[in-house]
Amino acid sequence: MEKVVLITGVSKGLGKALALKFKKEGFKVCGVSRSEPDFEIDKHIKADLLKKEYTGFIFEEFSKSFERLDVLINNAGIGLYESWENIKEEDLRKLFELNFFSYVFLTQKFLNLLKETKGSIINVSSVAGKLYVPYMGAYCSSKFALNAFSDSLRAEVKPYGIHVLNLIVGRINTGFSKRALGSMKPPETPFGGNPEKFAEAVYKAYLKKKREITYPYWYKFFILLANLFPDLYDSISLKKWKKYT
Ligand SMILES: NC(=O)c1ccc[n+]([C@@H]2O[C@H](COP(=O)([O-])OP(=O)(O)OC[C@H]3O[C@@H](n4cnc5c(N)ncnc54)[C@H](OP(=O)(O)O)[C@@H]3O)[C@@H](O)[C@H]2O)c1
């Protein structure tokens, strides 16, 4: 029987790259997003993950077409670039609703199906969940919370044979920053990973049942250095935002 993957944020960026990779590997792909994907997918569920009723609706729609779930990829997310001084409550709540609560409640809803297949949960987190960045503190907080969710969940679902892979993602060229909330524009970076290579790395990590991977890999050393020399990191990272300070 063909394996089934459910991916949130499937219409573009990393979700799209993951959908194409899992399809290529023989999976049936079901995806969630507000806009229609511009590529072929076995089932698309149009849903806004910011709305409370979404989990039940997604589960019902999924169950109309599939009897099993092998992999749940919680991926949909948004950025927020703003100082703590000026952050709007509405934006902060939206950020946590999408980047944290949607991951938790979809996981809860699909856990019984994943128990039956001894499946996998893949959470798309960020380098910003390991390393604070000034003016991105809210986004970092949502991803720090997500890492704690992934790690504690991994221990809790291990007895059911379910595997949890947490992805520590660095900058990848998807246009993510342009769609972010907040009034500030992030500093440009010459580096940026490739979504297709990211999807290859995730699939490999999924097959090897890894706990966590960092992609692009060199961010691991960056995180280590920044944690070793926090004062130096503070001043370098603040300089990047100098037009706002
Ligand atoms: N790209 C990076 O550099 C980077 C780095 C670190 C971590 N990440 C993480 O990777 C994940 C994906 O990022 P990306 O770069 O692929 O972003 P993206 O290109 O902006 O794609 C975001 C996806 O989420 C969906 N989405 C957004 N709001 C939604 C909502 N309210 N309800 C349902 N779906 C919604 C979007 O679809 P619709 O607009 O059609 O709804 C889209 O498919 C995020 O969790 C992000 O935090 C990205």
The alpha carbon of 56 and the centre of ligand 1 are apart by a number of angstroms equal to 21
pLDDT-derived band at 1 (thresholds 50, 70, 90) equals confident
Select from 169, 197, 214, 219 the residue to mutate for testing ligand 1; criterion: most ligand atoms less than 8 Å from CB.
169
Ligand 1: residues within 6 Å at CB?
A: 9-15, 33-35, 48-50, 75-78, 98, 124, 126, 169, 171-172, 174-176, 179
Q: Reply yes or no on whether 139 is catalytic.
A: yes
Ligand 1: which of 11, 14, 165 to mutate, most ligand atoms within 8 Å of CB? 14
State the chain's mean pLDDT as an integer.
Answer: 96
Q: How many domains does the chain have?
A: 1
Q: Which domain holds residue 30?
A: 4-244
Q: How many whole angstroms separate alpha carbon 144 and alpha carbon 127?
A: 9
Q: Across residues 166-178, what is the average pLDDT? A: 95
The answer, yes or no, to whether residue 181 has pLDDT greater than 90, is yes
CA 27 to CA 152: how far, in whole Å? 28
8 Å CB contact between 212 and 167: yes
Of 120, 125, 141, 150, the active-site residue reads: 125
Cβ proximity of 202 and 213 under 8 Å: yes
Verdict on whether the full-model pTM lies above 0.75: yes
Beta carbons of 154 and 164 less than 8 angstroms apart: yes
Q: Is 125 a catalytic residue?
A: yes
Name the pLDDT band for 53 (thresholds 50, 70, 90): confident
- CA R_g for the chain: 18
> Percent of the chain scored above 70 by pLDDT?
99
CATH of the domain at 144: 3.40.50.720
- pLDDT tens readout for residues 57-75: 999 999 999 999 999 999 9
